[in-house]
Amino acid sequence: MGIVYTTSNLLMQSALRIFGDWEVSGRENVPRKGALIVVANHISDIDAGILNASIPRRVEFMAKAELFQKPIISHLSRAYGAFPINENGREFYSINHSLAILNRNGALGIFPEGAKNPTALGEAMLGSAMIAMKSGSPILPVGIIGTESVGNGLRICYPRGTFRVTIGKPFSLVPDARENRRRENVESATDTIMKQIAALLPERYRGVYHNDWKGERSYTSPHKWWTVKLNKLNGPA
């Protein structure tokens, strides 16, 4: 898996056991080989680390572009399996890189919300559904609770709190969705993904994906990027 990845996971696992109350359920649901998209709610900066410590295979994660601005941190982040997601018109690079990971039967990690929502699930971005529909890869939903007590910064090194990671069973989007990638279909597929995550969380964490939610959900995707770039993803699967 690589020295940086393996060492970081061992350190994270040790810290979670020493400072926190950490439990993982559903590890048996993780396919040990083959392409896989891991999706989870996003509460704290520790979420990627706790997911990698919890899932018994290497996962490469989309990460905010700011992590890659300083050479040393960028090098360590990439060695850990992270790659940047941009919101400046270059998102297509991130999707292409994601598809390349899946094409070599790797595991890709995505936080569909894009940003942290410490209290409950917020509206998702469309990238995870687009990648799943284009690649046809199975999706592994994961629910995380308790990491809001860690927050950000150096507290990640000594994570105090009660942490629960629930790994659901893999699922795939309906077959005909790959053949029809109109925006409304991608939004519907995004709903499916987020509701699978919500089902693994206590009700108070489900937010706009709670079964009782009556409002409308809007899905973020830069309009120009969507209309120009989606055509390239609509080629042969």
The pLDDT value given to residue 183: 77
Residue 89 · residue 221 · CB < 8 Å: no
CATH classification of the domain holding 96: 3.40.1130
- At residue 38's C-alpha, the angle toward residues 170 and 168, to 5°, is 40
Per-residue pLDDT of the chain (237 residues; tens, 9 = 90+): 578 778 888 888 999 999 999 999 999 999 999 999 999 999 988 888 899 999 999 998 876 666 556 655 555 556 666 666 765 545 667 788 889 999 999 999 999 998 889 889 998 988 889 889 889 999 999 999 999 988 666 677 788 999 999 999 999 987 554 555 677 888 889 999 999 999 999 999 999 899 888 777 777 654 444 444 455 554 544
The structural domain count of the chain equals: 1
Return the structure tokens found at 56.
């018994």
- pLDDT score of 15: 92
pLDDT at 84: 66
SS3 state at 145: strand
* Residue 179 identity (one-letter amino acid): E
Residue 211 one-letter amino acid: N
Domain that holds residue 16: 3-233
Within 8 A by CB and 6+ apart from 107, the residues are 35, 36, 37, 38, 55, 57, 58, 59, 60, 101
pLDDT of amino acid 212: 85
93-102 — which CB contacts under 8 Å span 24+ positions? Answer: 94/62, 94/127, 95/127, 95/130, 95/131, 95/134, 95/233, 98/62, 98/127, 98/131, 99/131, 99/134, 99/135, 101/60, 102/35, 102/36, 102/37, 102/131, 102/135, 102/137
Helix (H) or strand (E) holding 19: helix 3-19
Q: What radius of gyration do the chain's Cα atoms show?
A: 17
For residue 225, what pLDDT is reported?
A: 44
What are the residues whose beta carbons fall under 8 Å from the beta carbon of 189, sequence distance 6 or more?
Answer: 129, 132, 133, 173, 177
- What's the confidence (pLDDT) of residue 80? 64
What is the predicted pLDDT for the residue at 185? 84
Q: What is the pLDDT of residue 220?
A: 64
The pTM of the full predicted model, rounded to 2 decimals, is 0.85
**Residue 28: per-residue pLDDT:** 97
